[in-house]
Structure formats: structure tokens, C-alpha cells
Copies of this chain bind each other. A is one copy, B any other.
Amino acid sequence: MPTGSDELSLIDAFVAELPHAKTPFGPGDDAAVLPRPKGQTCVTTDATVEGVHFTRPAFSLEDVGHKALAVNLSDLAAMGATPRWWLCALQVPRGFTTDDARALARGMAPLARAHGLTLVGGNVTSGPVLGLTLTLGGESPKPLLRSGARPGDVLLLTGPLGLAAAGLRALREGQTSGPEVDAQRRPLPHVESGLLARRFARAALDVSDGLLLDAWRLARASKVALALRSDWLPLGSTLEDALQGGEDYVLLLAVPARAVDRCLVAAAKAGLDWTPVGKCERGTGVFLDGRPAPPLGHLHGAP
């Protein structure tokens, strides 16, 4: 990316579409100065790369922008954090225009507005393909960790699994619309669920790489075994998609048994559809219907 007017007009076009901080707190200095946090600060970074996480034209630039921001918001949601600020590092291929930058930002703006997220800085460089590496910061009085689950805790999912994997298949088969395709291109991060979860849950993570792999991560971090019931799983597609599909960005929560009823009532009152899917036990690893389930991962594939 030649520095100078091209880069500047591209940055200006991008920033103008988004809720952003004013200098000295926002874009335009060597670093952004953050407002003082009220609780503890959680930070996360995640990259979305052309040919790896998406292809064009299966994804529009608006889709790419939306999804890049959504997957990072999902990480904050898993911490029970209130989104606050973000940085956007763009890698743009030759021929990428200010209109393209605007389209990316337009895909991000509704999510940023909905979740109170302020752009504070970023970086633009050239690269062989389009890539977005975002860093998000959020606040929580008491962040939810993967390591907090205890034997006896009940496992809850904050939404159905498998729809995004079905959408990936549909896109590969040339389908261009429908709820599966929407789930794949425009996943909605469970930020509200994360905020509610911090009142009840002892541990959480977002199911980005498939239930079996992410459950295994929770089990390992908490030093417990997770016993899942396949007939309890909220399915958006086939059982295989649900177990290994990935990219659904629902949260897996571990809630103390005594709090589960209150927790489910509170979720229902908030219009959230949470489902018990199993429980934590002494031991290690993940069990599905009583049988050991290997941590089979999701290969992020470009549609």
C-alpha cells in the first residue's frame, strides 16, 4: 500500500461509515488512548482471510465485514464482556477501492452500533488477498473463563448448532440465500447471552470450531469431563454438522446445578433460547451419550 493520499482516502472512507472515536482517543495518532475501564478489560484478536474464511463473490464485501466483526464479538460474548472499542488492521489486494472499503465498513456498522463498539484505530497495508485482523476490547466486572466449570455443573447452549456448516455446503453448491446461508455469511454473536451468563455461569466459551472440539477445550481448561446428550442438542442441521460443523458462534456455558432453573427463566424472559445439553463430571475429556468423543475439529473452509 503506497502511503499517502491513496491510503488516507481509503482510511477516511472506511472510518466515516463507522461509529468512531475522535482524536486523541481514536484513529489518527500513533496509538489510540482508551477511556478508563470500569471493570476488567478483555481483549481478543481474530483474522478473516480471503480464500481461507471466505471467497468472493460467495461473500459480498458487506458479508466479509459483518462476519469479521461478528467472530471477534463472539469472543467477547464468551467472556461475558460488554464490547467497548476495536482496532481494524486491513490487508487489501491491488485494485481495492475506497468504495470497497466503504462496503466492508457498511457490513460492520450495524453490529458495531448494536453493541456499542467504537473504532479507535487501525492500519492499512497491501497484501496478496483481502484480510481483516480485528482486535476488540470489552469490559466485565468478572470475566467468564473456560477454566471455571466444576463437576455437577449443567451445560447450556445459547442457540442451535449446525446451521453454519449447512450454509457452507449450500454456498459451495451454488445456493445464494436461505437461513443456512445467512448463518454462514452473517452469524450473530451472542453478546446478550454472554452478559446474562455472567450472572449465572461459572465458565463459558464460544462454539466456533464445532461442539466436540470446543467442549474438549472447556473440559481441558476446567479439568472436568463433559457429558453431552445428543438427543438434547438443539439442531439447526444434521447431528454431524452440530458436532463438528463449527462457525455457529453460540456459547457453551457451565452453570451450577442449583442456579439452572433461575438461569433458564431469566434467559426465557430476555427472549433467549438456551438449552441444557449435558453436565460436567469428574474426569477428563468429552463423552457423547456415555461414549468418549474425540476432539474432531472444524476445518474452516472457504465457500
A residues engaging B (CB < 8 A)? 1-4, 23-24, 28-34, 36-37, 40-47, 49, 51-53, 74-76, 78-79, 81, 85, 87-89, 91, 120-123, 125-129, 131, 133, 135-138, 143, 145-147, 204-206, 209, 213, 221, 246, 295-300
Residues in chain B near residue A81, CB distance under 8 A: 31
- Nearest B-chain residue to A246, judged by Cβ: B3
Residues in chain B near residue A126, CB distance under 8 A: 49, 52
Q: Is the CB of A30 within 8 A of B75?
A: yes
Could you say which of B46, B76, B79, B129 contacts A127, with CB atoms under 8 Å apart? Answer: B129
- In whole angstroms, what is the CA distance A221 to B128 when docked? 32
Q: Is the CB of A127 within 8 A of B78?
A: no
Task: Please list the 3 inter-chain residue pairs (A to B) with the smallest Cβ-Cβ separation, ordered nearest first.
Answer: A4-B297, A133-B133, A31-B44
Q: Is the CB of A221 within 8 A of B23?
A: yes
- In whole angstroms, what is the CA distance A135 to B44 when docked? 10
Q: How far is the CB of A129 from chain B (nearest CB, A)?
A: 6
Beyond A30-B76, A31-B44: 18 further Cβ-contacts under 8 Å? A1-B52, A1-B300, A3-B298, A4-B295, A23-B145, A23-B221, A24-B147, A28-B221, A29-B145, A30-B75, A30-B78, A31-B143, A32-B43, A33-B143, A33-B145, A49-B91, A87-B135, A131-B131
Residues in chain B near residue A43, CB distance under 8 A: 31-32, 34, 85, 87, 120-121, 135, 137
Could you say which of B1, B79, B87, B213 contacts A45, with CB atoms under 8 Å apart? Answer: B87
Q: Is the CB of B45 within 8 A of A138?
A: no
- Nearest B-chain residue to A137, judged by Cβ: B43
